[in-house]
Amino acid sequence: MLRDHSRRSLVAAFLLFGLTTPASAQRGGTIEILPLARYTFFYDSLALKNTLGVGLGLGIYFVPRLALEVSGSYAETHRQDSSRVTVLPVHARLVAHLPLRPRTSALLGLGYGRYSYGDGLDAHEDGLAALAGLRFSLAERLGLRLEATADYIPTPTASTVRVWTFGVQGGISILAGPVGPGDADRDGVLNQLDRCPGTPVGERVDPTGCPLPRDEDGDGVLDAADRCPESPAGQRVDLNGCNADLDGDGVGNARDRCPATPPGIAVDEIGCPPAPPPADTDGDGVPDAADRCPATPHGGRVDAVGCSTLFEPAQRTLVLHGVTFASGAATLSPDAKVVLRETAMALIQDPASRVEIAGHTDSTGSRSVNLRLSRDRARSVRAFLLAAGVPAGQLSTAGYGPDQPIATNATAEGRAANRRVELRRRD
């Protein structure tokens, strides 16, 4: 049993708490009726199975936020030998209702609890009873309560036996009698304190019940001073709440991705300075970052990675224009050597390529002489390319004499076109 002076101290503490806190919806004289269901966890030494029961609670508010509550419940359980035991828990507590939100309160209670056991276990015991939970208001006089309880039962063997009985319970809270001063606009401020009693539901208010200053578009400028109250979310605005061009680049802040561009800098359509073109040191159209051959001759043909190439992607035959010889001989002209140096560089930069050097003549003279001359000229070109560093495995030669003309031999221009050296892909 609780000692008398402990009970007096407990009551005094709850009375002091209730008298020093603001009034809630329930005032003195409000009655609360609580039909409930309770699940009990018995302490170990009783050897009882945890069980579910039903009960009823009754409370009366004698000061705002503080009620005296009495509850009782009934349950049936069994001992380990399967004998039936009836359980009648009775509690009397002082319960404080602490508002968390306008329609939700936290519950803290402390008081007295007594358990009576019948049938297979004829006994009773009492002790200290604690409660914690939540009350959710469903209507002015209707709510839902969810609670956890802990009852300390002193016994002579408390040092070796668990003496806590726990429970969880829930029920429908029904209020009767006066329910205290009203809050007509449901803003959390009682009518007698509300200077703005017609506030729309959900409006945030100050302690006097009047709407707080608002910033509907969230731009940092209160609605009262905002000349552009529908600015897009996240947009930078001026002191009037309107879209501005704060860096003066001609692009409004709503589109400006570089809002701190220095004055006088040219910008693109999103307010940012144009990115400089990628560096291309050898001017071949392939940026240095992707150029595997950064020193190709200016104006030469290159592939996708910036290396010299002789052939277009689908091309198989290339006429080496400018590769000429002394009349009736296989001696390279000075101009031919210039062309072949560039050809050699392209072949070196493309080591996977394999080409045939094909010599051709016009139809002037005997065919046998022209065949030999075309072979000699192809070999002369190969020798020059080898001397310039082209691997021998990339080069082969053939002489076709007058057999493969590309123009008529009836004119000087046609015969000149037929006297040629070609590279033919063989890879």
Q: What is the domain partition of the chain in residue ranges?
A: 4-176, 288-425
Q: CB neighbours (10 Å) of residue 85?
A: 22
Q: Per-residue pLDDT averaged across 372-399, rounded?
A: 94
Confidence of residue 10 (pLDDT cuts 50, 70, 90): very low
For residue 20, the model assigns a pLDDT of 36
- Residue 137 C-alpha from the chain's centroid: 36
- Measured distance CA(97)–CA(51) in Å, rounded: 28
Banded model confidence at residue 298, pLDDT cuts 50, 70, 90: low
pLDDT at 9 exceeding the cut of 50: no
Q: Return d(Cα 399, Cα 138) in angstroms, integer.
A: 104
Contact 292, 304 (CB under 8 A): no
pLDDT value at 265 more than 90? no
CA angle, residues 360, 366, 371, in degrees to nearest 5:
35
Question: C-alpha 371: how far from its chain's center?
Answer: 75
**pLDDT greater than 90 at residue 151:** yes
pLDDT of residue 295: 62
What b/e sequence results for 4-36 when a residue is b if at least 16 CB atoms lie within 10 Å of its CB, and e otherwise?
eeeeeebeeebeebbeebeebbbbbebbbebeb
Q: Which residues of 198-223 are buried (b: 16+ CB within 10 A; e: fewer)?
A: ebeeeeebeeebeeeeebebebebee
* DSSP 8-state symbol, 274: P
| Contact by Cβ (8 Å): 90, 111 | no
Helix (DSSP H) and strand (DSSP E) numbers for the chain: 4, 12
Give the pLDDT of residue 132: 97
Examine domains 4-176 and 288-425 and report if their fold is the same. no
Q: Assess whether pLDDT exceeds 90 at residue 11.
A: no
Which of 41-45, 95-99, 416-420 has the least mean pLDDT? 41-45
The mean per-residue pLDDT over the stretch 240-268 comes to 79
Looking at the predicted structure, is the pLDDT value of residue 76 above 50?
Answer: yes
The residue ranking higher by pLDDT, 223 or 97, is 97
Residue 41 has pLDDT above 70, yes or no: yes
Q: What letter does residue 347 receive in the DSSP assignment?
A: H
What's the sign of the alpha-carbon dihedral 390, 394, 396, 401?
A: negative
Per-residue pLDDT at 360 = 94
Q: What is the mean pLDDT of residues 189-193?
A: 76
| pLDDT above 50 for 4 | no
The confidence band for 210, taking pLDDT boundaries of 50, 70 and 90, is confident
376 CB-contact burial (10 Å; exposed 0-12 / middle 13-18 / buried 19+): middle
pLDDT digits (tens, 9 = 90+) for 170-187: 999 999 987 656 666 777
Q: Is residue 191 pLDDT above 70, yes or no?
A: yes
Q: Give 1's pLDDT tier (boundaries 50, 70, 90).
A: very low
CA–CA dist 201, 249 (Å, integer): 45
Beta strands in 207-341 (DSSP E): 317-319
Would you tell me which CATH number, out of the four given (2.40.160.20, 3.10.20.340, 1.10.150.20, 3.30.300.30), belongs to the domain 4-176? 2.40.160.20
Homologous superfamily of 288-425: OmpA-like domain (3.30.1330.60)
